Amino acid sequence: MHIFPIVDLNGIQIDLSAIIAIVVTSIIVFVLARLAVRNLSVENPGKLQNFMEWVIEFVHNTIASTMPFEKAKKFISLGMTLIVFIFVANLLGLPFQIITEAHHEIHWLGITKEVLEAHDGHAHISWWKSPTADISVTAGLALVVFVIVHSLGLKWNRKHYLKHYFEPYPIFFPINLIETVAKPVTLALRLYANILAGEILISTILMLKVWGLPFMAVWQGFSIFVGAIQAFLFTVLTMVYISQAAIHDEEHAH
Amino acid sequence: MSFYPSSTIFTIIAFLVLLWLLNKYAFGPLFGVMEKRRQLIQEQMNAAANSRVEAEASMAEQKAALDEARKEAYAIIEQARATSSKQAEEIVSSAKNEATRLKDEALKDIESEKNKAISALRTEVGGISVQIASKIIEKQVDEKSQEEIVNKYLNEVGSK
* Test the A interface: residue of B21, B22, B42 with most A CBs within 10 Å: B22
Interchain pair B11, A131: CB under 8 A: yes
- For chain B, say whether A228 makes contact (Cβ under 8 Å): no
Output the pLDDT for position B86: 95
Highest mean pLDDT among A71-75, A131-135, B64-68, B132-136 belongs to B64-68
A/B interface, count of CB pairs below 8 Å = 116
Output the pLDDT for position A225: 92
Average pLDDT rounded to a whole number, residues A116-141: 79
Output the pLDDT for position A210: 80
Closest alpha carbon within chain B to A15: B7
Asked whether the predicted pLDDT for residue A113 surpasses 80, the reply is: no
- For chain A, say whether B138 makes contact (Cβ under 8 Å): no
Output the pLDDT for position B69: 96
- The amino acid at residue B104 is D
**Range in A35-39, A190-194, A229-233 with the lowest mean pLDDT:** A35-39
Higher-scoring residue by pLDDT: A180, A44: A180
- For chain B, say whether A10 makes contact (Cβ under 8 Å): no
Question: Which residue in A18, A85, A144 is closest to B12 by CB distance?
Answer: A144
- Written as one string, the DSSP assignment of B91-142 is HHHHHHHHHHHHHHHHHHHHHHHHHHHHHHHHHHHHHHHHHHHHHHHHHH--
pLDDT over 70 percentage in chain A: 81
B residues 31-70 lying closer than 8 A (beta carbon) to A: 31, 33-34, 36-37, 40
Interchain pair A144, B16: CB under 8 A: yes
* Cα–Cα dist A231/A173, whole Å: 31
Closest alpha carbon within chain A to B29: A37
- The amino acid at residue B134 is S
State how far the alpha carbon of A196 is from the alpha carbons of A133, A183, A202, in Å.
4, 20, 10
Q: Can you give the pLDDT of all 160 residues of chain B as single tens digits?
A: 577 888 888 889 988 998 888 888 887 788 788 888 888 999 999 999 999 999 999 999 999 999 999 999 999 999 999 999 999 999 999 999 999 999 999 999 999 999 999 999 999 988 898 888 888 877 777 777 778 888 888 888 877 6
Residue A253's pLDDT band (cuts 50, 70, 90): very low
Distance between A196 CA and the closest CA of chain B, angstroms: 10
- For chain B, say whether A67 makes contact (Cβ under 8 Å): no
Provide the ipTM: 0.81
Contacts of residue A127, defined as CB under 8 A and 6 or more positions apart, other chains included, come to A5, A16, A17, A20, A98, A99, A100
- For chain A, say whether B20 makes contact (Cβ under 8 Å): no
Higher-scoring residue by pLDDT: A216, B78: B78
Interchain pair B3, A140: CB under 8 A: no
Asked whether the predicted pLDDT for residue A215 surpasses 70, the reply is: yes
Q: Whole-model pTM?
A: 0.69
